[in-house]
Amino acid sequence: MKKIILALLLAGFSTTKTEAQSLQPFTDGDRVVFLGNSITEAGYYASNIWLYYITRFPNRKISIINAGIGGDVVGQMNDRFERDVLPKKPNIVVLTFGMNDTGYLEFNAQNADETAKQRIAKSQQDFILLTNKLQAQPGIKPIMMSSSPYDETMENKNNYYKGKSKAMEQIMAFQKEAAKNNNWAYVDLFHPMTEINLREQKRKPDFTITGPDRIHPGRGGHLVMTALFLKNQGLAGKPVATIHIDTKKGLVRAENAKVHINKKSELGLSFNYLANALPFPIDSINGVWENPQTQADALTVYPFIQEFNQETLKIEHLKKGNYDLVIDGRKIRTFSADTLTKGINMALLSNTPQYQQAASLMYMNELRLELEKKIREYYWLHFNYFKAQNMLFDDSQLAFEKVAEKAKTDWFVRMKMGTYQTARFPEVRKMWEDNIKGLADRIYQINKPKLHIIEILQVK
């Protein structure tokens, strides 16, 4: 047995030392599958990443595809790789695991350290098997991403498993080593999010960027995960657009936008504005079960707006006083000349036509995500129940009756049954898939920035 394990280690991890590949931005035509557990199945961070690309690179059409299944360890991801990942025809696979691999209640047992070692060793062996499969797919570029953190330090009596975080760090160590040795990109979510937790808990001991259960990030945590992924792609600091106009000199600078001044004076100005991108809309609702976090909550602990959502308008040498910002004939807000001289961030103004356009894309993307979640629930039941019954993708009446009986005693199965009642029919799944594709196609039809007339009018 030891010889077999050694052979697996040698196969999965080359002895040639290299550095992890830098994470490049996605390009036109990329099909990106996110392979993970329940945090991935929730879909929010991957959906946010797609929304960023939809709004920031409107002519760069990519596909973001969810392959998360709640409760999975990497061994289960390996088992379903051929039936769940490859049929999606990805050219990029983002692989993340570790939360479930380290276990939970085991950390409260007397032999916790030994059990953790065994689980970590098993996770590494299974990871090597999946690594070999990825290496055998030359058309797929893997990206290794750490788990988001288990928040062991928050003031909360629920789900406390002492030592789980350290066990997760051991998994991250072999993930990072594999990324280096295979020349894969590596994204660390665990440590930056843990730093946020530790920093904020000094002020508020029950704070968490993760969630009340210490495990599942809410919408705020998912936005931070989005930001960290995009930052690894080198996209932090790239503005939506920048406009700098001096009413004496004219246009000083326009970045990622085209600007044509129609008229200007110290009493105001008018110009045509065509940006190459749209602002990123911030959602104010929560969406994760028993987690009240919203995206807006994350803005107080992570500089997302500063790094990813700057649509700056700066007007110099206006006469002292107040000025209305008017776009396409509609008053947006009133600003002082001093404020306009310092510059305003139009991405924070939710009533601009460009923000409203971006918001419509956000809601369409949300609808796409809800349909995708139904399909993931269908896959959850097959890989977590039917596979063990030798009934994988058997959606017969007998299969339905068996899983309905299981639902009487299994809360997790019961939670998926509402979806499965309809999802077991291939015509229904095909309709959902067609609707997902239709929404994506429509999004890329209406996500192109429009020409706007911006006026700065003195308030009399």
Same domain, 203 and 270: no
> What's the rounded mean pLDDT across residues 67-78?
98
pLDDT per position as a tens digit, 372-408 = 999 999 999 999 999 999 999 999 999 999 999 999 9
User: For residue 460, what pLDDT is reported?
Assistant: 85
Same domain, 226 and 253: no
Who wins on pLDDT, 4 or 410?
Answer: 410
The per-residue pLDDT of the chain, averaged, comes to: 94
- Which of 179, 197, 232 is the endpoint of a domain? 232
Same domain, 185 and 220: yes
Residue 2 has pLDDT above 80, yes or no: no
Domain-located, residue 163: yes
Same domain, 54 and 137: yes
The whole-model pTM stands at 0.93
> What's the rounded mean pLDDT across residues 265-293?
88
Strands 268-275 and 257-265: antiparallel
Domain-located, residue 303: no
- Which of 232, 250, 266 is the endpoint of a domain? 232
Domain-located, residue 305: no
User: For residue 27, what pLDDT is reported?
Assistant: 98
Give the whole-angstrom CA distance, residue 244 versus residue 81.
51
Poorest-confidence range of 15-29, 291-305, 334-348, 401-415? 15-29
Domain-located, residue 297: no
Question: Which amino acid, one-letter code, is at 354?
Answer: Q
Domain-located, residue 70: yes
> What's the rounded mean pLDDT across residues 131-149?
98
Q: CATH number for the domain including 66?
A: 3.40.50.1110
Strands 330-336 and 322-327: antiparallel
In percent, the amount of the chain with pLDDT more than 90 equals 91
Same domain, 34 and 150: yes
Same domain, 251 and 225: no
Residue 8 has pLDDT above 50, yes or no: no
Same domain, 122 and 38: yes
What is the Cβ-side half-sphere exposure of residue 204, based on CA atoms within 13 angstroms? 8
**What's the burial of 412, exposed, middle or buried (CB within 10 Å: 0-12/13-18/19+)?**
middle
The count of structural domains within the chain is 2
Same domain, 320 and 204: no
> What's the rounded mean pLDDT across residues 238-255?
95
Same domain, 314 and 416: yes
Question: Which residue segment(s) compose the domain that 351 sits in?
Answer: 241-276+310-460
Residue 331 has pLDDT above 80, yes or no: yes
Domain-located, residue 97: yes
Same domain, 165 and 247: no
List 311's β-bridge partners, or say none.
241
Same domain, 355 and 423: yes
Domain-located, residue 185: yes
Strands 311-316 and 241-246: parallel
Same domain, 205 and 246: no
Give the whole-angstrom CA distance, residue 289 versus residue 216.
9
Which of left, alpha, beta for 112 (phi over 0: left; psi -120 to 50: alpha)?
alpha
Domain-located, residue 220: yes
Residue 14 has pLDDT above 50, yes or no: no
Residue 10 has pLDDT above 70, yes or no: no
